[in-house]
């Protein structure tokens, strides 16, 4: 019986790890683009700076959208955790096996909080 739980737990863990990896790649890409635009704005003439500022604002909007989507990602991750935890309890499986999934859910929350702080400060 614990084999089906193990498979579910492993699949959930992999899904969350993949999602976190995707999130981090997106954040890095957007932040790198924003940094490049900020550098170009500081050396360009006023007309070009206005165009670049518009692009920077667009990237900032993308970062805000990503931040908003992380709230839903977090909620979904915790729902998956709860589903696996219920399955764990119903099958009498050692609840410490849930710890890796729990840690990934917390990691998503930390990423979301950090990104929100960054977005608000930018």
Contacts of 118 (CB under 8 A, 6+ apart): 31, 63
Contacts of 89 (CB under 8 A, 6+ apart): 95
Print pLDDT tens along the chain (122 aa): 455 778 888 899 999 999 999 999 999 999 999 999 999 998 888 888 899 999 999 999 999 999 999 999 999 999 999 999 998 888 888 888 899 999 999 999 999 999 988 887 76
Domain residues of the chain, as ranges? 2-26+63-121
Instruction: Write down the pLDDT at residue 109.
Output: 96
Rounded Cα distance, 111 and 30, in Å: 15
First-last CA distance in the chain: 50
Instruction: Write down the pLDDT at residue 3.
Output: 57
């Amino acid at each position: 019986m614990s084999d089906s739980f193990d498979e579910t737990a492993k699949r959930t863990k992999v899904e969350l790890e993949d999602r976190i990896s995707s999130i981090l790649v997106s954040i890095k890409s957007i932040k790198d683009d924003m940094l490049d635009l900020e550098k170009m704005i500081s050396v360009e003439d006023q007309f070009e700076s206005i165009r670049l500022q518009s692009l920077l604002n667009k990237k900032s909007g993308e970062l805000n959208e990503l931040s908003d989507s992380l709230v839903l990602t977090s909620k979904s991750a915790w729902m998956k955790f709860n589903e696996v935890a219920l399955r764990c309890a119903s099958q009498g499986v050692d609840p410490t096996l849930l710890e890796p999934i729990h840690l990934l859910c917390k990691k998503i929350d930390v990423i979301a909080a950090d990104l929100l702080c960054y977005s608000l400060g930018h």
